[in-house]
């Protein structure tokens, strides 16, 4: 079980820190922010957080001696702790910085991502939380390979997992780089290297245990920080939401249009495929699914999903207040915009400027440190998932047939952690000018098109076969990656062509049904001996998924 003294001692100091921050922030609404200015308060809070989390990693490293402890913290995390950690995983820089920036630019349209993302959690609670926990050991690949042929199933599932992890890393690194560039005056490239180095230290030495507690601390800080901002914004309008919206309409150049749909996206198909990508992509995120294995039993797994839903729902509600608050306090303010009206530090920094506007340097420093903590925690979770996909799913289970050398497995995990860190730096530099909320939606397409179909059908469809799962995953992967590349976000914004070959940014509306259809067709046509075994294994899988006991 998880040793508690260190985290409890650390968290016991938090209420005093939070109270003093709120009291001081409420009395200060000035403080200038310039491009690449240095904020001493932010630097101090950054350093405090880094020291605390590095000590957590050191503490966790003493308790991480086996591969099971590295990947799942030994299964000793409680439902409440894991719910907070899942929320910490999901409440990323893309959410805090990106969605706020979208509301700042487009109004109510920016809420589309938040609502779509949250809609997936009830399905996670009902369809997956208990069954996945009862069937799996380390990764979601363990679940889909349980009734199917091991080698082919694991290889194709790893392809989906690693793709999602790498694409999700891009959004976090962009958010981190822009944040540190703005506050420390460091070059963007140096900023992403710093983030990658810290994350590699957390994961390589502390594994899932360190990552879990970094995420818990980060979730507590982020929820508290967004609460402070929400309270101060609402206080400025006497807690009258209508007045906040009225002032936002008066301030925004689009006027009443920001309270209607169509400012950001005016194509119904584009909106629908975005909703499908976010809603169903959530259910296929490997780093979220992996957290279901860190609890001791299925009851705690269910509690994890419930608490995560509560925390995430509360967070997204306050993001709406913060988003419209940025319009009122930041838009057109010469302290936060240049002569052309563009935000200093880039469009993703609207939330950070709002913190300065309503709470001065102290709140800005606090929220900057929180955003930094958010990025570190999410990148750490992604890195653990990516490392597990290579070292556990491929090396231990495929190459070593389930009997790996423990020392070699841990060593490989740390090497993969280093490689993922270097890859994150490179991709973060390439995509640095993109909105982080938009970037983070792209891996949702792959998760919905590759991971979810094979996971869901392995749990609920008795006719699924190995050939069907492999065919569906390949169709989902190729179509998702292909349509993303020829879509507007890559073909036009990144490559530079004048017009996209595929008109929609997030093609899950088309790629996910294609994957399901391919699985169904190939499975129905498969009459091989392996297919008969796959179907015969379903009854035992259902029994284990419902009871937690192997037949």
pLDDT digits (tens, 9 = 90+) for 205-235: 778 888 888 888 888 988 999 999 999 999 9
pLDDT above 60: residue 19:
no
Q: How confident is the model at residue 292 (pLDDT cuts 50, 70, 90)?
A: confident
Residue 347's contacts (CB-CB under 8 Å, 6 or more residues apart) are 101, 104, 105, 435
The residue ranges of every structural domain in the chain are 5-26+43-261+291-435
* Other C-beta atoms lying within 10 Å of the C-beta of residue 543: 14
pTM > 0.85: no
* pLDDT score at 148: 92
* pLDDT score at 34: 41
Cα–Cα distances (Å) from 119 to 21, 221, 313, in that order, read 33, 24, 9
* pLDDT score at 302: 84
Percent of the chain whose pLDDT exceeds 70: 89
Q: Which of 141-145, 170-174, 537-541 is predicted with the least confidence, judged by mean pLDDT?
A: 170-174
Query: How many CA atoms does the CB half-sphere of 454 hold within 13 Å?
Result: 40
Q: What is the pLDDT of residues 340-352, one digit of tens each?
A: 778 887 777 899 8
Q: What is the mean pLDDT of the chain?
A: 82
pLDDT above 90: residue 172:
no
- Of 362 and 24, more confident: 362
Across 272-286, average pLDDT: 88
Q: Strand, helix or coil at 337? A: strand
Of the spans 295-299, 410-414, 468-472, which averages the highest pLDDT?
468-472
* pLDDT score at 454: 95
CA angle 381, 382, 388 (to 5 degrees): 90
pLDDT above 90: residue 522:
yes
* pLDDT score at 466: 95
Q: Which CATH class is domain 5-26+43-261+291-435?
A: mainly alpha
* pLDDT score at 550: 61
Q: How confident is the model at residue 1 (pLDDT cuts 50, 70, 90)?
A: very low
Catalogue the long-range contacts made by 160-163 (C-beta closer than 8 Å, 24 or more residues apart).
160/284, 160/286, 160/446, 160/447, 160/450, 160/451, 160/473, 160/476, 160/477, 161/286, 161/385, 161/386, 161/389, 161/393, 161/451, 162/386, 162/389, 162/390, 163/443, 163/446, 163/450, 163/477, 163/481
pLDDT above 60: residue 11:
no
């Amino acid at each position: 079980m998880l040793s508690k003294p260190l985290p409890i001692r650390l968290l016991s100091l938090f209420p005093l820190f939070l109270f003093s921050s709120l009291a001081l922030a409420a009395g200060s609404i000035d403080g200038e922010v310039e491009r690449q200015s240095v904020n001493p308060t932010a630097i101090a809070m950054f350093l405090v957080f880094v020291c605390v989390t590095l000590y957590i990693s050191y503490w966790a490293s003493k308790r991480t001696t086996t591969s099971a402890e590295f990947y799942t913290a030994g299964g000793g995390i409680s439902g409440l702790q894991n719910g907070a950690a899942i929320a910490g995983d999901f409440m990323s820089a893309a959410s805090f910085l990106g969605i706020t920036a979208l509301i700042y630019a487009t109004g109510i349209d920016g809420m589309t991502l938040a609502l779509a993302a949250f809609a997936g959690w009830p399905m996670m609670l009902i369809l997956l939380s208990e069954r996945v926990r009862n069937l799996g050991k380390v990764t979601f690949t363990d679940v889909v390979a349980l009734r199917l042929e091991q080698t082919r199933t694991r290889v194709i599932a790893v392809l989906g997992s690693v793709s999602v992890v790498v694409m999700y890393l891009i959004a976090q690194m962009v958010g981190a780089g822009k944040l540190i560039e703005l506050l420390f005056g460091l070059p963007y490239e140096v900023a992403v290297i710093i983030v990658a180095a810290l994350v590699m230290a957390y994961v390589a030495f502390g594994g899932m245990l360190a990552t879990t507690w970094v995420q818990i601390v980060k979730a507590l800080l982020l929820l508290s920080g967004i609460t402070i901002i929400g309270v101060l914004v609402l206080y400025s309008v006497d807690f009258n939401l209508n007045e906040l919206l009225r002032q936002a309409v008066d301030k925004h150049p689009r006027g009443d249009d920001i309270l209607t749909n169509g400012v950001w996206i005016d194509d119904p198909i584009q909106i629908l495929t975005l909703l499908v990508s976010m809603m169903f992509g959530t259910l296929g995120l490997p780093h979220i699914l992996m957290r279901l294995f860190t609890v001791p039993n299925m009851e705690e797994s269910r509690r994890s999903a419930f608490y995560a839903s509560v925390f995430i729902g509360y967070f997204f509600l306050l993001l709406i207040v913060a988003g419209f608050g940025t319009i009122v306090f930041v838009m057109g303010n010469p302290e936060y915009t240049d002569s052309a009206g563009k935000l200093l530090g880039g469009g993703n920094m609207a939330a950070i400027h709002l913190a300065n506007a309503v709470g001065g340097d102290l709140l800005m420093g606090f929220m900057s440190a929180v955003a930094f903590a958010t990025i570190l925690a999410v990148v750490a979770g992604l890195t653990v998932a990516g490392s597990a996909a290579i070292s556990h799913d491929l090396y231990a289970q495929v190459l070593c047939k389930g009997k790996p050398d423990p020392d070699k497995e841990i060593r490989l995990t740390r090497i993969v952690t280093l490689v993922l860190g270097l890859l994150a730096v490179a991709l973060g530099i390439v995509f640095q000018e993109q909105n982080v909320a938009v970037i983070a939606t792209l891996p949702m397409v792959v998760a919905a098109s590759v991971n979810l179909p094979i996971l869901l059908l392995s749990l609920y469809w008795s006719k699924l076969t190995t050939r069907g799962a492999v065919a569906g995953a390949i169709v989902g992967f190729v179509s998702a990656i292909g349509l993303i590349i020829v879509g507007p976000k890559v073909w036009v914004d990144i490559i530079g062509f004048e017009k996209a070959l595929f008109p929609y940014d997030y093609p899950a509306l088309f790629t996910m049904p294609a994957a399901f259809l391919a699985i169904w067709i190939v499975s129905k046509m498969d009459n091989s001996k392996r297919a008969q075994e796959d179907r015969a294994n379903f009854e035992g899988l259902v029994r284990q998924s419902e009871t937690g006991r192997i037949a």
